Structure 1
Amino acid sequence: MTSAPPLVLESLGKTLPNGRQLFANLSLTVSAGECVSIQGESGIGKSTLLNLAAGLDTPSAGMVEVAGRKLADLSEADLTALRGQQIGFVFQSFHVLPYLTLAQNVALPAILSGDPRDAALTKARTRLSEVGLGDRHGDYVAALSGGELQRVAIARALVHDPVLILADEPTGNLDPDTSNEIMDLLARTVRSTGAAMVLVTHSPIDAAMADRQLRLTASGMEPIA
């Protein structure tokens, strides 16, 4: 893990091509082992903020730094490498591949970041065990429930030991009991690895599990008491 904060956003702003400003003057530092939740009204730019943090979109103003590296200074190839090596993604819609086993799904980020296939599969089986699916590593995703699919997505997000986890509505398709289990698992796993997590959610219950709760507004970020 790098000694620099996993994520630094400084005076960040985003204006859409039609001239609509989503947000401005947004500054945030997320430390290693910290979980920060972000809420906000629909359309305010929560998912856009995650895309900016991952270098998948470009800010209209301000600076994004991941693990000590300013994204604006990186080439597209370097950005791709940074995402593959330092960032893990957890999405509401899982994005698992049905023609691969659970272990193969989870191993993909490690393989893409340069690990040999056998080493990546060994890491994948370890991560699957950590999320309670160790005995299912050879199964295909068609046999899994929504909660189990999200466990696979969490294992995949962590397999390459990223410094930053970006989670976009990770429990949106799950029932309340499963949502609580997934959030508890995600928070515990992130803290135990020393990664940082930014969680975008509409759920006050999910948000309350974070170390800091923030609300995104058009003028930036404000704490939720």
Structure 2
Amino acid sequence: MRTVIAGGHGQIALRLERLLAGRGDEVTGIIRKPEQAAALREAGAEPVVLDLESASVAEVADVLRDAGAVVFAAGAGPGSGVARKETVDRDAAVLLADAAERAGVRRYLMVSSMGADSDPRPGTDDTFAAYLKAKGAADASLRHRAALDWTVLRPGQLTNDPGTGRVRLAASTGYGSVTRDDVAAVLAELLDTPSTAGLTLELIGGHTPVPVAVKDVAGN
């Protein structure tokens, strides 16, 4: 299967690209800067340079042709302001969904954030509050799309610790942290589990092996 990952140079995306390429899948990563291409090729993915803040639906749909799934793993990143939370974390995710519909790609995985549906806690930084609001709006857009088999994954606090291969995955997990390695492993497993379509799932570190955790939420 060919999978297209938006935000292909992100930390989770690069991990996911390595996992998918390592098992023989075809992977395409959408990136904004040409100088990011080498890192994708090293991970086993084919880079496509396309700025999702300015691209048209037709341009993105052309990249998605013949794909079996798309993953939105893009983000404005640390240091960006409120405006780019809206143009990347919200608008680019919606653009990718519009393009997937046009290209006939049903499977859509959204890397969201825990707390995206909640009011920010008192004292939350304005930019992070805007990020959560943008993520929540992007997630809400997916829920109304009958043409997409979407799954929203909402990790807790991300760490760069080595993955454990064991997680807690549920509609509600409570707050906690999770390694980026384990997020990528869950995404790879979700791609193989279409019966998770229509679910919004929280993810933190835990004690259940990733394949079992995904199977449990899928009801298989």
Task: Report the TM-score when normalising by structure 1.
Answer: 0.36
Q: Which has the higher contact order (CA 8 A, sep 6+)?
A: 1
Pair member with larger Rg: 1
